Amino acid sequence: MPNPSSIFSFKRSNPLAGFVLFVLLVLVIETVLAFMPQNSLITAIGRIPMPAKSPDFQIMGDSVAQGGIIASQLSDELGGASVANLAVAATGPEFPYFLLKRQLAAGIAPKEIIYSPSPHTFGTRRIALLIGAYASWPEVAEIAVARIEPFEVMYGVLCKLSFSLRNREQLSELFKGRKAPEGFQQAAPKPATATANADRFPAKNLHPMFKQSFKVMDFNGHFHRKFLATAAANGIKVNWVSVPSLEVVREARKPLDYDARYQAFLRSVRDEFSVRLLMPESTLMEPRFFKDYSHLNSEGAAVFTKTVGAALKAR
């Protein structure tokens, strides 16, 4: 006699029972996962520390800006102005809009923004990460209404359902006997030993993302424009700072008309949203200042921060 609840038989007579069994199995798995340590990157994205009050300058972008522009040093460079680094690793140009929107609602929006995104993030998909790890449900609704990349949005919602269950504070209190931490401070990037050896970054080891021309995905472009429009509507000046680069990366992009496309994009956002192109061209830095093909080490971050400070003072 066939088992009516079997989800492995194509001849089952009760598909509803199989579906219910599948849902129960997922719930059991998710509950077990609630007791496992969660990914530190996901935690960092979900709990971005907000400044206590409106900073004079706020650094925004991804991991390159997070580790490459030192807030305390920049504050000294600017004569004691308050500087907050709210750049978040692994994010793309769609994240700053939602972060700024939350700050405006909380009354702690910055006076000026130092925006330093990695150009390749404009052409990559991070929709599931945005929805699953960061966006609130009302924000998910706003994303869905935009009707861009609907299948990616649906996948992000599935990720969020899983993420919500594994990270519910109520579940933590009830089953683990402790409360989840109230705040989360992102770990500072680990310093890397500087090296003068240019052979450390051979062209043959370049990641494929450095071998593609500059492009902007519709989803990223939509929320990036909303970010700049929101800043402009609230009188927040955006200072664009292009991320530093290695010679080997620049050379790989030359045949792709990369710089021309990127500069054309910058001019368009300047003209449409009055963005100040503080450092529109990527600063070429020596290999000894990098810990990989895009991220600066501690020495490189100090040098780049000084450069940014000088540009801000000279504007």
Q: Which residue has the higher pLDDT, 124 or 16?
A: 124
What values do phi and psi take at 308, rounded to 5? -65, -45
Domains of the chain: 53-124+193-314 (3.40.50.1110), 126-167 (no CATH)
Q: What is the pLDDT of residues 152-176, one digit of tens each?
A: 999 999 888 887 766 665 555 555 5
Q: Is 65's pLDDT higher than 60?
A: yes
Q: What is the pLDDT of residue 165?
A: 67
Q: What is the pLDDT of residue 30?
A: 73
CB 296 within 8 A of CB 305: no
Q: Is 193's pLDDT higher than 70?
A: no
CB 270 within 8 A of CB 141: no
Q: Which residues pair with 83 in a beta bridge?
A: 57
Report how far residue 77's alpha carbon sits from residue 89's, in angstroms, rounded to the nearest whole number. 24
Residue type at 162 in one-letter notation: S
- Please count the other Cβ atoms lying within 10 Å of the Cβ belonging to residue 186: 19
Q: Which residue has the higher pLDDT, 123 or 169?
A: 123
Q: Which residues pair with 290 in a beta bridge?
A: 296
Q: What is the pLDDT of residues 204-225, one digit of tens each?
A: 999 999 999 999 999 999 999 9
SS3 315: coil
Q: Counting beta carbons within 10 angstroms of the beta carbon of residue 165, is it exposed (0 to 12), middle (13 to 18) or buried (19 or more)?
A: middle
Q: Strand (E) positions, 70-173?
A: 83-85, 112-116
Q: Which residues pair with 296 in a beta bridge?
A: 290
What residues contact residue 133 under an 8 Å CB cut-off, 6+ apart? 42, 45, 46, 159, 160, 163
Please give the share of the chain, as a percent, with pLDDT higher than 90. Answer: 70
